[in-house]
Chains A and B, each alone.
Chain A
Amino acid sequence: MLNTLITHELRTIVLSPKFSLTFAVTSLLMLLSVAVGIAQYHDAVRQYETTTALTQQEMREARGWMSLNNTVLRAPDPMQIFVAGVNDDIGRISAVNSFRGIKLTHSTYSDDPVYAVFRFIDMAFIVSVVFSLLALLFTYDAVNGEAERGTLQLIFSNAVPRARYILGKFIGAWLGLIVPLCIPFMLSALLLIVWSVPMSPDHWLRLLTLYGTSILYVTVFIAAGILLSTATKRSSTSFLYSLVSWVCLVFIVPRAGATIAGQIVVIPTVAEVEAERDAFAKDRWARYEETLQTTWRSRNAPIESMTREDREAYREQHMWEWMEEDDRNRKQVQKDIDAFALSANEQQRNRKAEQERLAFALSRFSPASAYHLAAVNLAGTDITLKARYEDALNIYRPLFTAYKDKKQKESGGMGGIRIEVNTDTGVKIDTGREKGVLDISDMPRFEQPQRSFRDAAVPAMIDIGLLGFFSFAAFAGAFVRFLRYDVR
Chain B
Amino acid sequence: MVRLIIEKELRDIFTSSKFLVTFGICSVLIILSFLIGARNHQVATAQYEASKRANDLQYEGVTDWTRVQEYKIFLPPQPLATLVNGVANDIGRTIEVRGRGELRSQDSRYGDDPIFALFRFLDLEFIFSIVLTLFAILFGYDLINGEKERGTLRLTFSNAIPRTGYIIAKFIGAFLALAVPLLVPILAGILILPAFGITLAGDDWLKLALIIGAGIITVGAFLALALFVSASTERSSTSFLVLLSLWIVMVMIVPRLSVVAADQIVTVPSVDEINSQKSRFMSQIWNEDRGRMNSYTPPKSQNVQEVMAGFNKFMQELADAREKKFNELSARLNEERTNRQAEQQMLAMLVSGVSPSALFTLAAGEINGTSLRMERAFLEQAKEYQRQYAAFMKEKTGMNTGGFSFVVRMVTDDDAAPPKPINIRELPQFAFTPLSAASGLGAYTGYTGVLAVYLLLFFAGAYRSFQRYDVR
Q: Does B15 contact A (CB under 8 A)?
A: no
* A225-250 near B? 1/0 per residue, CB < 8 Å: 00000000000010011011001100
* A419-438 near B? 1/0 per residue, CB < 8 Å: 10101011111110010000
A272 with B294: CB separation less than 8 A: no
Residues of B within 8 A of A355 (CB): 113, 115
Tell me the interface secondary structure of chain A in the complex.
helix
Q: Does A54 contact B (CB under 8 A)?
A: yes
B residues 407-442 in Cβ contact with A at 8 Å: 408, 411, 413
User: Chain A: which residue is nearest B375 at the CB level?
Assistant: A113
Q: Does A129 contact B (CB under 8 A)?
A: yes
Mark the stretch among B4-12, B85-93, B321-329, B446-454 that contacts chain A.
Answer: B85-93
Query: B111, B116, B263: which contacts A262 (Cβ < 8 A)?
Result: B116
B272 with A51: CB separation less than 8 A: yes
Nearest chain B CB to A236 CB, angstrom units:
9
Q: Does B213 contact A (CB under 8 A)?
A: no
* A353-374 near B? 1/0 per residue, CB < 8 Å: 0011001000100000100110
Residues of A within 8 A of B372 (CB): 113-114, 117
3 shortest A-B CB distances, which residue pairs? A426-B298, A275-B54, A279-B58
Residues of A within 8 A of B62 (CB): 282, 286
A interface residue count range (under 10 / 10 to 19 / 20 to 34 / 35 or more):
35 or more
A255 with B122: CB separation less than 8 A: yes
A106 with B271: CB separation less than 8 A: yes
Q: Does B258 contact A (CB under 8 A)?
A: yes
7 A-B pairs whose Cβ atoms sit less than 8 Å apart in the complex = A107-B90, A111-B271, A113-B372, A275-B58, A355-B113, A372-B118, A427-B296
Query: Roughly how many angstroms separate A216 CA and B20 CA in the complex, as a whole number?
Result: 32
Residues of B within 8 A of A363 (CB): 119
B260 with A426: CB separation less than 8 A: no
A268 with B25: CB separation less than 8 A: no
Query: Roughly how many angstroms separate A178 CA and B18 CA in the complex, as a whole number?
Result: 30
Interface centre among B91, B105, B260 (most CB of A within 10 A): B260
Q: Does B332 contact A (CB under 8 A)?
A: no
A263 with B118: CB separation less than 8 A: no
Query: Roughly how many angstroms separate A383 CA and B113 CA in the complex, as a whole number?
Result: 8
Residues of B within 8 A of A91 (CB): 111
B117 with A86: CB separation less than 8 A: yes
Q: Does A376 contact B (CB under 8 A)?
A: yes
Contacts A237-B17, A419-B406, A431-B294 given; indicate if A259 touches B280 (C-beta within 8 A): no
User: Chain A: which residue is nearest B44 at the CB level?
Assistant: A269
The A-B contact count (CB < 8 A) is 290
A279 with B57: CB separation less than 8 A: yes
Nearest chain B CB to A470 CB, angstrom units:
18
Q: Does A270 contact B (CB under 8 A)?
A: yes
Residues of A within 8 A of B131 (CB): 247, 251-252
Contacts A130-B248, A263-B43 given; indicate if A85 touches B118 (C-beta within 8 A): yes
Q: Does B345 contact A (CB under 8 A)?
A: yes
Interface centre among B111, B116, B122, B241 (most CB of A within 10 A): B111
Residues of B within 8 A of A117 (CB): 86-87, 255, 259, 348, 361-362, 365, 371-372
Nearest chain B CB to A395 CB, angstrom units:
21
Nearest chain A CB to B40 CB, angstrom units:
7
Binding site for A on B (CB under 8 A): 17-18, 21-22, 25, 29, 32, 36, 39-40, 43, 46-48, 50-51, 54-55, 57-62, 67, 72, 74, 86-87, 90-94, 104-108, 110-122, 126, 130-131, 134, 138, 238, 241, 244-245, 248, 252-253, 255-260, 262-264, 268, 270-273, 276, 279-280, 283, 286-287, 290, 293-294, 296, 298-302, 304, 307-308, 310-311, 341, 344-345, 348, 352, 358, 361-362, 365, 371-372, 375, 406, 408, 411, 413
Contacts A85-B118, A117-B365 given; indicate if A55 touches B111 (C-beta within 8 A): no
Residues of B within 8 A of A105 (CB): 104, 106
Residues of B within 8 A of A47 (CB): 270, 272-273
User: Chain B: which residue is nearest A386 at the CB level?
Assistant: B114
Query: B47, B238, B311, B352: which contacts A268 (Cβ < 8 A)?
Result: B47
B55 with A271: CB separation less than 8 A: yes
Residues of B within 8 A of A260 (CB): 36
A89 with B365: CB separation less than 8 A: no
Nearest chain A CB to B335 CB, angstrom units:
16
Query: Roughly how many angstroms separate A429 CA and B18 CA in the complex, as a whole number?
Result: 81
Residues of B within 8 A of A270 (CB): 94, 107, 112
A252 with B118: CB separation less than 8 A: no
Contacts A247-B131, A372-B118 given; indicate if A263 touches B72 (C-beta within 8 A): no
A256 with B241: CB separation less than 8 A: no
* A260-283 near B? 1/0 per residue, CB < 8 Å: 111100111111100110110011
A18 with B241: CB separation less than 8 A: yes
Q: Does A39 contact B (CB under 8 A)?
A: yes
Query: Roughly how many angstroms separate A257 CA and B117 CA in the complex, as a whole number?
Result: 13
B108 with A110: CB separation less than 8 A: yes
Contacts A114-B372, A248-B25, A426-B307 given; indicate if A258 touches B119 (C-beta within 8 A): yes
Query: Roughly how many angstroms separate A268 CA and B43 CA in the complex, as a whole number?
Result: 10
Binding site for B on A (CB under 8 A): 18, 22, 25, 29, 32, 36, 39-40, 47, 50-51, 54-55, 58, 61-63, 73, 85-86, 89-91, 93, 103-107, 109-121, 125, 129-130, 133, 137, 237, 240-241, 243-244, 247-248, 251-252, 254-263, 266-272, 275-276, 278-279, 282-283, 286, 293, 297, 352, 355-356, 359, 363, 369, 372-373, 376, 382-383, 385-386, 417, 419, 421, 423, 425-431, 434
Query: Roughly how many angstroms separate A257 CA and B238 CA in the complex, as a whole number?
Result: 35
Nearest chain B CB to A451 CB, angstrom units:
16
Query: Roughly how many angstroms separate A255 CA and B60 CA in the complex, as a whole number?
Result: 41
Nearest chain A CB to B215 CB, angstrom units:
17
Query: Roughly how many angstroms separate A93 CA and B111 CA in the complex, as a whole number?
Result: 12
Contacts A29-B253, A121-B252, A423-B304 given; indicate if A297 touches B241 (C-beta within 8 A): no
A115 with B299: CB separation less than 8 A: no
Given A118-B352, A255-B122, A271-B51, output 7 extra A-B contacts at Cβ < 8 Å. A73-B272, A103-B106, A107-B110, A247-B131, A251-B126, A272-B47, A352-B115
Interface centre among B57, B119, B273, B362 (most CB of A within 10 A): B119
B241 with A137: CB separation less than 8 A: yes
Contacts A50-B273, A256-B32 given; indicate if A118 touches B54 (C-beta within 8 A): no
Contacts A105-B106, A240-B17, A263-B40 given; indicate if A118 touches B358 (C-beta within 8 A): yes
B50 with A269: CB separation less than 8 A: yes
Interface centre among B120, B253, B352 (most CB of A within 10 A): B253
Query: Roughly how many angstroms separate A39 CA and B433 CA in the complex, as a whole number?
Result: 40
Query: A62, A106, A256: which contacts B122 (Cβ < 8 A)?
Result: A256
A113 with B107: CB separation less than 8 A: no
Query: Roughly how many angstroms separate A270 CA and B260 CA in the complex, as a whole number?
Result: 31
Query: Roughly how many angstroms separate A114 CA and B62 CA in the complex, as a whole number?
Result: 42
B273 with A51: CB separation less than 8 A: yes
Residues of A within 8 A of B94 (CB): 270-271
Query: Roughly how many angstroms separate A286 CA and B137 CA in the complex, as a whole number?
Result: 66
Nearest chain A CB to B106 CB, angstrom units:
5
Residues of B within 8 A of A112 (CB): 268, 341
B307 with A55: CB separation less than 8 A: no
User: Chain B: which residue is nearest A289 at the CB level?
Assistant: B409
Query: B40, B93, B113, B283: which contacts A58 (Cβ < 8 A)?
Result: B283
User: Chain B: which residue is nearest A266 at the CB level?
Assistant: B43
Query: Roughly how many angstroms separate A363 CA and B271 CA in the complex, as a whole number?
Result: 36
Residues of A within 8 A of B55 (CB): 271, 275, 278
A119 with B244: CB separation less than 8 A: no
Query: Roughly how many angstroms separate A25 CA and B36 CA in the complex, as a whole number?
Result: 37
Residues of B within 8 A of A118 (CB): 255-256, 258-259, 348, 352, 358, 361
Nearest chain A CB to B366 CB, angstrom units:
11
Residues of A within 8 A of B108 (CB): 89, 107, 109-110
A22 with B90: CB separation less than 8 A: no
User: Chain B: which residue is nearest A276 at the CB level?
Assistant: B54
Nearest chain B CB to A83 CB, angstrom units:
11
Query: Roughly how many angstroms separate A282 CA and B302 CA in the complex, as a whole number?
Result: 33
Nearest chain B CB to A296 CB, angstrom units:
8
A110 with B21: CB separation less than 8 A: no
